[in-house]
Amino acid sequence: MRAQPVTPDGAVAHVVEQVLTADGTVRVLVDGHPSTGTARFADALVGPLRAAGRPVGRVAARDFLRARSVRLEQGRRDPDALLDAWIDVEALNREVLRSVVRRGRYLPSLRDPDTGRSTRAGYVEAPPGTVVVLDGTLALRRGLDVDLGVHLALAPATETRHTPLDDAWQLAAYGRYRREVQPERRADVVVRVDHPDRPALLLR
């Protein structure tokens, strides 16, 4: 891969361009370590996509975590559970990623990530051509039915520096993720963000 320096807006514009080449419903996943700002990047896609005439549904994986009794079964600091058991992949596929295609609607949230209680959200209608923008972490190639995967990449050393001491237990999950999923090889778009103000597209 070669790195092509871009501005932060240029990185967003590149992803928007990729989305607009596809007709019909498009499901986009923005994945990365929490410090990369996946939610901010996903939010930044919304305005340009709407300006281009595409309806947008904005969803966060953190609102589709499994019930606490399931994801914390092995304790609150189990890195394997963080990687394998936290995101309710079945619910996200059923209520969002497949529903928006098959039924023309999606559920914007399922559970409050802090309380674990149902958000009681209602379905949102999705007109033809809707783009669902989903952000998450440790989410690429985990069985989610998405059409475009975007990975905000960090070097391992940067990842370590940007992980708070209380969350250091999570580093084992990110290491396993790099080895097993190889997100920089598997994502459709990779943006290197070790220096957020000076990102770079990694091009094959």
Which tokens belong to 203?
A: 């091009």
Residue 1 has pLDDT above 90, yes or no: no
For 113-163, how does the pLDDT look when each residue is reduced to its tens digit (9 = 90+)?
888 899 999 999 999 999 999 999 999 988 999 999 999 999 999 999 999
What CATH number has the domain bearing residue 183?
Answer: 3.40.50.300
Residue 68 has pLDDT above 90, yes or no: no
- Residue 60: closest CA among 135, 116, 150, 154: 135
- Residue 88: closest CA among 107, 67, 117: 67
For residues 127-152, one letter each, b for 16 or more C-beta atoms within 10 angstroms of the residue's C-beta and e for the rest, the string is eeebbbbbbbbbbbbbebebbbbbbb
Secondary structure in 3-state letters for 142-204: CCCCCCEEEEEECCHHHHHHCCCHHHHHHHHHHHHHHHHHCHHHHCCEEEECCCCCCCEEEEC
d(CA 165, CA 160): 9
Q: Which pLDDT band, with edges at 50, 70 and 90, does 70 fall under?
A: confident
CA angle 124, 31, 13 (to 5 degrees): 80
Q: How many domains does the chain have?
A: 1
Q: Which domain holds residue 44?
A: 2-203
Q: What is the mean pLDDT of residues 174-180?
A: 96
Give the DSSP letter of residue 32: E
The answer for 68, left when phi > 0, alpha when psi is -120 to 50, beta otherwise, is alpha
- Residue 65: closest CA among 46, 39, 78, 84: 84
d(CA 83, CA 100): 26
Query: Torsion angle, CA of 8/33/114/172, rounded to 10 degrees?
Result: -170
d(CA 44, CA 199): 15
What pLDDT sits at residue 82?
A: 94
Q: What is the mean pLDDT of residues 90-98?
A: 97
What pLDDT sits at residue 141?
A: 86
d(CA 139, CA 177): 9
